[in-house]
Amino acid sequence: MSGRTAPTDDSILKRFQQLPFNEHGCQIWGGAILASGYGQIKRRQKAWLAHRLSWALATGSDIPDGLCVMHSCDVRACVNPAHLSVGTHADNTRDMMNKGRGILGRKREPHTRTHCSRGHEYSAANTYINPRGVRVCRACATESAARYYLKNPPGRTWQQIDTHCVHGHARTPENTYVRPAGTGRACKICKRDAVNRCALKQRLRLKATP
């Protein structure tokens, strides 16, 4: 049995407070850092995001359900309570958009860019905001729709468009299995190959069993 004792809230809070400040006033978490950039710490056998726990311990309050802890410094590993505040996901999204970090999570400046990636101008007539709050180029959307309809012309059913399975077998009536309620189709050759592979694996497993 391990002789280590679980850290108390006071010891965790002290660990946060002892972190040095950088030139921007951030206290960068010195423990585990997730791939997302957020710090992580264990408390009472539960993994916490370090900035959320820092805010909770510094304020002595629980984080209300459904709310998130936002960074005013935009440094995910920062645990300085002065840089943290609680808000709704809508508040967090609005803050992200106002700071120009609203395109697929990548740090860009969509509201200062004058043209899209294909060179179309972000004019009032050529721009709309989608439900996620992201700017969309109307010219690009129109071109995308044109490519789709060229590939999938109206009036053709999906059976006419999808003539072969992913492995190249023709979807003939003899080689096509229609799932119950017509929810989809399956290639009989592929299904038979899959069954044969499973049977072979089972035989090999039995042979390997002493």
- Flag whether pLDDT at 201 surpasses 80: yes
pLDDT of residue 9: 77
Whether residue 23 is found in the same domain as residue 61: yes
Domain count, the chain: 3
Structural domain of 200: 158-208
**Do 185 and 179 touch, CB atoms closer than 8 A?**
yes
Whether residue 71 is found in the same domain as residue 141: no
- pLDDT mean across residues, the chain: 79
Whether residue 75 is found in the same domain as residue 122: no
* DSSP for residue 124: S
Of the candidates 21, 136, 8, 147, the residue with the CA atom closest to the CA atom of residue 78: 21
Select the more confidently predicted residue: 160 or 66: 66
- Flag whether pLDDT at 3 surpasses 70: no
pLDDT of residue 80: 92
Task: Give per-residue pLDDT as tens, 89-130.
Answer: 888 888 877 776 654 444 444 456 777 777 788 888 888 877
Whether residue 48 is found in the same domain as residue 117: no
The CA distances from residue 123 to 56, 96, 142, 146, 182, in Å, are 44, 22, 15, 21, 46
d(CA 77, CA 207): 52
Task: Give per-residue pLDDT as tens, 177-191.
Answer: 887 766 677 889 998
Select the more confidently predicted residue: 86 or 96: 86
User: pTM here?
Assistant: 0.46
Whether residue 120 is found in the same domain as residue 147: yes
Task: Give per-residue pLDDT as tens, 15-70.
Answer: 888 888 888 888 888 888 888 788 888 887 788 898 998 998 888 888 888 888 99
| Three-class secondary structure assignment of 126-159 | CEEECCCCCEEEHHHHHHHHHHHHHHCCCCCCHH
Whether residue 196 is found in the same domain as residue 125: no
